[in-house]
């Protein structure tokens, strides 16, 4: 493993002296505008984790400081079976490190592409676990705002974990307090596009999109031209293939109601859980992971990445050094965390 900043600097930025040198880097399992995600082993535990690495100067330049602080707080605060959990956080002079559970089943997006579309039983299972996760966030007055197949991971036993809370918003108690224009274009709710203020119903709109995509292979609104896409989201209705059941069409239609006050879920997750599509669901057993998942990863070992996009897993696994440093201490005070 390469040498990083000298030990005196490392001590200044760590909690209980936790550093990158406490981990062995194995593979790359994700990349984005923020940085990358590495598969790592914590040396003294022999435990496998996912490590998200972000460059401080890049976060500052892109005005992402508040977003990463929010993600860091939520990951520590929230403890739920279907939400990715923070295990460690630390920093150096130039970088931020978030260490969370590793989900070797990969992204839901990977599996939708692999099989083209899910059957309704599989969609019911995954949607049910997502509903329980989002319900928990909403009870803590957090809106997620980035629900999409890429942010839903599958763990070793086939259950889901929601990840990436960089666009989440805390202290939202109504349907219009949040004002930021943010999210993935195909999944944006009309009220976000129209800049009317938004709240918890935006997550249920995204759920409707996600259920549709699981069952058809594509989002209900899709266009490379964002202006045309946004116009369709505001004014159009999706087309429903004939192979979809009346029950799931009704569910999706009610989740994709343009008016957030009338959208299914606007008065709480029970509205969705009580829909006829979920009539056979035992929500208690689902929460306790006592329902067999539709897909269980077949793994050779703890570091198997067969369900990770090869675009990531074939990249060189390293924590690349940063050539220039800035004095950014004040922007990231309190970031470190050791369970």
Catalytic positions: 146
Among residues 84, 124, 88, the alpha carbon closest in space to that of 105 is found at 84
Q: What phi and psi values does residue 25 have, to the nearest 5 degrees?
A: -80, 130
- Secondary structure (3-state) at 265: coil
What whole-number distance in Å separates Cα of residue 151 and Cα of residue 266?
22
CA-angle at 72, arms to 69 and 75, nearest 5°: 145
What whole-number distance in Å separates Cα of residue 279 and Cα of residue 115?
26
Cβ 286 vs Cβ 129: under 8 Å: yes
What whole-number distance in Å separates Cα of residue 196 and Cα of residue 143?
16
The angle, 0 to 180 degrees and rounded to 10, between the axes of the packed helices 246-255 and 201-216 is: 140
């Amino acid at each position: 493993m390469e040498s990083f900043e000298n030990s005196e600097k490392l001590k200044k930025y760590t909690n209980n002296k936790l550093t990158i040198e406490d981990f062995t880097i194995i593979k790359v399992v994700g990349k984005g505008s923020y940085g990358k995600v590495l598969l790592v082993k914590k040396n003294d535990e022999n435990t496998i984790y996912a490590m998200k690495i972000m460059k401080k100067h890049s976060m500052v330049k892109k005005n992402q400081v508040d977003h990463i602080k929010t993600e860091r707080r939520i990951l520590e605060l929230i403890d739920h079976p279907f939400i990715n959990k923070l295990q460690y956080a630390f920093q150096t002079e130039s970088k931020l490190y978030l260490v969370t559970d590793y989900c070797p089943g990969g992204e839901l997006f990977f599996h939708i592409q692999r099989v083209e579309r899910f059957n309704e039983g599989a969609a019911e299972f995954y949607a049910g676990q997502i509903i329980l996760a989002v319900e928990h966030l909403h009870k803590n007055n957090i809106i997620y705002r980035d629900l999409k197949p890429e942010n839903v991971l599958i763990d070793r036993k086939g259950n889901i974990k929601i990840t990436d809370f960089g666009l989440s918003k805390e202290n939202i108690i109504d349907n219009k307090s949040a004002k930021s224009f943010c999210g993935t274009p195909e999944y944006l709710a009309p009220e976000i596009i129209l800049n009317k203020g938004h709240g918890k119903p935006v997550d249920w709109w995204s759920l409707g999109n996600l259920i549709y995509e699981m069952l058809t292979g594509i989002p209900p609104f899709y266009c490379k031209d964002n202006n045309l896409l946004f116009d369709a989201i505001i004014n159009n209705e999706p087309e429903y293939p004939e192979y979809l059941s009346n029950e799931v069409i009704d569910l999706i239609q009610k989740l994709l109601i343009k008016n957030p006050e009338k959208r299914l879920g606007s008065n709480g997750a029970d509205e969705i859980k009580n829909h006829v599509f979920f009539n056979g669901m035992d929500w208690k057993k689902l929460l306790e992971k006592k329902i067999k998942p539709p897909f269980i990863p077949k793994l050779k070992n703890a570091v198997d990445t067969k369900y990770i996009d090869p675009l990531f897993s074939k990249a060189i696994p390293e924590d690349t050094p940063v050539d220039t440093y800035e004095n950014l201490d004040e922007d990231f005070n309190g970031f470190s965390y050791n369970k």
